[in-house]
Amino acid sequence: MPPEATVLRTVLAGVVLSVSAVVGVDAAAVLPAGAASLESVGNPGRYVRHQDSLARLDPVSPVSAAQLKSDATFTIVNGLASPACYSFQARNGQFLRHRDWRLRIDTNTGDATFRADATFCAVDGALASYNYPGRRVRQRDFALWLDAVVDTPEFRADSAFRIVAPWAPRTTRNPVLPGLFADPHIAAFNGRYYLYPTTDGYASWSGTYYKAFSSADLVTWTDHGVILDHGPDVSWADNSAWAPAVAAANGRYYLYFSGGAAGGNTAKQLGVAVSGSPAGPFRDALGVPLVRSGQFSGGQAIDPMVFTDDDGRSYLYWGQGVARAVPLHADMVSFDPAQVRTITPAGYNEAPFVFKRNGVYYLMWSENDTRSEDYRVAYATGAGPLGPWTPRGVVLQKRLDAGIKGPGHHSVVRAPGTDTWYIAYHRFAVPAGDGTNRETAIDPMTFGADGSIRPVVPSP
């Protein structure tokens, strides 16, 4: 049994995926996100692992080889098909899924079939298939299968697992959130840090909902669940839930987001939602887009961000291909279209972000395509929130010696009451990610004596 397994079981208040342990319990279990190993209850000392891509139960002990320990470690993450369920990501970046009823690990393709096959729900104490809820993960001759439920002691024992401490604990700072999340907006409200990312892992970036996470120390994050879902919550969009950003004003919190339709006219538009809490839930404030597709010539209406100046005036920035900015009215949900300005700097692709330090305004953005390992962050400085802007160069880019590719679509935050700054960004999930399988990272961001941003070295 791995170190701390007994202690972890106590801390998790008995998170045992055993039907026999929770007979009569109708509520779904809540599993802890993060690295873990799954031990068979019916075969103590044997753990779920992958070998030649197939999932099975094998003995693991403190003297086992490092590779075996790694193969027996998974990260419990947000369900690829549903935030109410879970997916299990192997250390090599692949996901546990079923195919022809056999459990195996495969690379996430992002399509609906794969995401459903790789999502499991903790129902009545067992790991049930998301798309075949009458089937459970079960071992037969130590191979893992997805079998139809049979109400026998043998089946219950074969389908019972307990979550224990990981055989191969994580040793890196990043990612800060388990699972696939991109385009993170970081902010500080009421003494806590908040992250609002795009839910990633979907082909063509076709996710539909946003989550919020909060932390007191930028290390341990609380998942506040879904805060806005395009399907039921937004009448004009049911797809492409991209790049949220949150601003506080008028005693409320405003969530700016990109959205579009799954079919027909799929052009992207900007919306705004409102909540009394930074943890949501949010409701669509207008019932129509804040910025309509095609309302302004050129570029794509995505990637909104709001900066509030020292005088209390807020400015909305957005755009892919073309960067735009406009002062918001005091209600935070309207503006004068005649005041919209184009502020596109050389090299700009998307994801504008503005902040102010020591009287200097900083405009930051992402360059190149998000699907490219050369996706990166550059910046300029100016004397006002609308510029003009002086280019200052690239501050965040790939680090191939650490396997880090495509770092970008960032945001920054200042630790309240200090001159300590952090940058949140996404990167291709290490080691097997790409432009639709990305993860969220945070690193310190420092400044030179002249106010320039020092190059950020992305950390593993």
Residues annotated as part of the active site = 183, 350
CB atoms within 10 A of CB 455: 12
Taking a C-beta distance cutoff of 8 angstroms, is the pair 393, 380 a contact? no
Partners of 260 in the β-ladder: 239
Q: Strands, DSSP E only, in 53-108?
A: 54-59, 74-78, 86-90, 95-99, 102-106
**CA 291 – CA 300 distance, rounded (Å):** 10
**CA 64 – CA 35 distance, rounded (Å):** 18
- 7-32 burial by CB neighbour count: b if 16+ within 10 A, else e? ebbeebeebbbbbeebeeeeeebebe
How many helices and strands in the chain, by DSSP H and E? 5, 32
CB atoms within 10 A of CB 76: 21
Using only C-alpha atoms, what is the Rg of the chain? 23
**CA 319 – CA 333 distance, rounded (Å):** 17
CB atoms within 10 A of CB 97: 26
Taking a C-beta distance cutoff of 8 angstroms, is the pair 221, 202 a contact? no
> Which tokens go with 206?
């076709």
Q: Is 354 helix (H, G, I), strand (E, B) or coil?
A: strand
Polymer length in residues for the chain: 460
Handedness of CA 109, 114, 116, 117 (dihedral sign): negative
Handedness of CA 341, 347, 351, 353 (dihedral sign): negative
**CA 432 – CA 416 distance, rounded (Å):** 36
